[in-house]
Amino acid sequence: MFKRDTHKPAPVRIPTFKSEELEYAIKSYDWNLLEDPSEDYDLLSKGLLKCASSSREAISPSASRLNAHAIKLLEQRRAVKLKQGSSIKSCKRDLCDQKAIMSALMDKDGTTQTSRRAMEAIVQEFYTDLFRSSTTVPKCLMPPAEEVPPILESEVAHAIRRMKPGTAPGPDGISADLLRAGGSALCSLLAKHFNHYLRLGRIPDSWKESKAVLIFKKGHEISAIRRQ
């Protein structure tokens, strides 16, 4: 079961960075390699965000593209939509400048849960069962161990170029636009840390985390949500 609550979302502003200043900040920063990958990546992320803050371009407030006459015409058109016989719910939907959020979710026992932690647990359990494989896979013979080649700066640069610009950052706060603006200095830094994790045979714990946006569809069960 879903209860709908609404709030007006903040305007989305994608920060931009000055590439030359960001590269200089990365080269000048005192970077260290820690033995623990999780601690090392946490320190690396904080350092990158500090470098990014010093090279971020100021966002000037955008001027309205509509003059007073255009705004008046839009208000008149909106009033025309509120013709006699239209439902109140339909009018509210047309006029609202808000975003629907989930405030309750029904678990598998049919109990309505309203706390954030309980709702997260329901979603986690559902998608864990959804993607868990029940197919028995026979064990395969492992090939003889061989030395894994190091990660090249060119490989890091190629991966960054393929990232979609304007996408939201993950839990570490590092966006694709920041990585694109870092240039060769950032590619060299990332390759160094990635090869460090490769030699240790371990990855940071934060790499196992992600942000999932649930999009509500018609229905009352958790299966009525699709993941994005």
Q: What pLDDT is attached to residue 158?
A: 96
Closest Cα to residue 56, out of 24, 26, 22, 17? 17
The pLDDT value given to residue 2: 44
As a whole number of angstroms, the distance between CA 53 and CA 50 comes to 5
Who's near 1: CB < 8 A, 6+ residues apart? 104, 105, 106, 112, 220
- The domain segmentation of the chain, as residue ranges, is 1-7+16-55+99-132+149-228
Q: What is the pLDDT of residue 16?
A: 82
Q: What pTM did the predictor assign?
A: 0.63
Tokens representing 16 are 């931009």
Structure tokens at 59: 């966002």
**pLDDT by residue, tens only, the chain of 228 residues:** 444 444 455 555 667 888 999 999 999 999 999 999 999 999 999 999 999 998 887 666 566 677 888 888 878 777 665 555 556 666 666 666 556 677 788 888 888 888 889 988 888 888 888 878 777 878 888 778 788 899 999 999 999 999 988 888 888 889 999 999 999 999 999 999 999 999 999 999 999 887 777 776 665 565 555 554
| Residue-level pLDDT at 90 | 64
b/e 38-58 (16+ beta carbons within 10 angstroms → b): bebbbbbbebbeebbeebbee
Instruction: Give me the pLDDT at residue 12, please.
Output: 52
C-alpha separations of 71 from 19, 82, 91, 167 in Å:
39, 17, 19, 31
* Residue 106: predicted pLDDT: 84
